[in-house]
Amino acid sequence: MIPDKIHFAAIMSKQVAEVHTTPMPDLGPDEILLEMRKINICTTDYQHWMGLRDHQGFPMAGGHEYAGIIVAKAANVADHFAIGKQVAATGVSCGICQACRQGLTSDCASRGGRRNNPDGFLGSKKFANYAILNQRGAALISNDIPAEQAAFLEPVATVVQCVKKSRIHPMEDVVIVGAGTMGLVNAQVAKAWGARVIISDIDPKKIARAQEMGIADVVDAKNNDPVKSVMDLTDGKGADCVIAAVGSTIAYKQGYDMLKRLRGRLILFPAGYPAPSLSIDPNEIHYRKIEIIGTYGANMADFEDAATLLSKKLINMSYSLEGKEFALRDIQQAYEAAATPGTYRITVNLQMI
């Protein structure tokens, strides 16, 4: 039985999150109703809660790293979105602008900006026990995958785009600077693409987690020179590609210094707040034919590849989870945990209201 209300969480102001209710809307002709299972608190979420992204506005009822089960569907919804199937969100693009027609759906002219709701809340209201989703913004994830791992669809898709833009191919030496949540996702996807992976970090907890994955050489950058270590591991050649999975000035400098002499690629994966700096001699970029590549977001094809990686268990997102789960009713404590330095993804059980 479909309830008449939805319970959702919102960030009301700096370091204040609360649960609210809203009437259950009617389904549109292309929409599905999800009984939401799990959502993970991403960096954007907890930094907004901390007040580091207050330019995005309050009250913010966002959320995008979630998975749910289809419990109702409208008449125009495709057959493969069957009742009982697990889905995660891809984001919706218009399909008709020039960017969409070129396959660059993350550049869609109709996307971006703040989503305003009539009740004054910003965002998509996905920290909720139920949610309505347009079928164009849904991707099937095998029901065999735990919901907290299926919820990684969007983060994995952004890494898939990163790997594609980086032009990583089998047997290349790829260094991931940073073994946090997204560093480990980058490492797993690069490995799935056939690369030889090296991970560097200074935090003992993150070093141990990276070693636990068993897919990469791991450098303790606190007790060893990470640049020298990479050179030693690559027989003096240096990395074909370095993915800076930490938005920091030091990570950028180390990553640049790890590159091979000619045609190395440095990838700037995350944003950093406050903004880091990048100081590079442009003549070096010229003579060494170095590429500095920025990556952000994911296209629909990246989401499909991410869904395949997850559903076929080619990657294992349990390594990027802290292993702590909070009830939706305890959303304030969940944000406090997520904002603790060195923490991997915190999960919220959306049915516990």
Residue 94, classified by CB atoms within 10 Å of its CB into exposed (0-12), middle (13-18) or buried (19+), is middle
Q: Tell me how crowded residue 260 is: count the other CB atoms within 10 A of its CB.
A: 20
Query: Model-level pTM?
Result: 0.94
Tell me: the pLDDT tens digits for 40-69? 999 999 999 999 887 788 999 999 999 999
Question: Is residue 115 predicted with pLDDT exceeding 80?
Answer: no
Q: What is the pLDDT of residue 112?
A: 56
For every residue of 34-95, DSSP letters joined together read EEEEEEEE-HHHHHHHHTTTGGG-SSB----SEEEEEEEE-TTS-TTS-TT-EEEE-----S
- Res 92: pLDDT: 84
For 277, the 3-state DSSP assignment is: coil
Short-list 222, 182, 217, CA closest to 203: 222
Instruction: Return the DSSP state at 106.
Output: G
What sign does the CA torsion over 110, 116, 118, 121 have?
positive
Residue 216, CB half-sphere, CA atoms under 13 Å: how many?
Answer: 36
Say if strands 345-349 and 321-327 run parallel, antiparallel, or are unpaired: parallel
Confidence check: pLDDT of 257 > 70: yes
Express each pLDDT in 264-298 by its tens digit.
999 999 988 889 999 999 999 999 999 999 999 99
Confidence bin at 213 (pLDDT 50/70/90):
very high
Name the residue ranges covered by the structural domains of the chain: 5-156+298-349, 159-294
Fold of domain 5-156+298-349: Quinone Oxidoreductase; Chain A, domain 1 (3.90.180)
Domain 159-294 in CATH: superfamily? Answer: NAD(P)-binding Rossmann-like Domain (3.40.50.720)
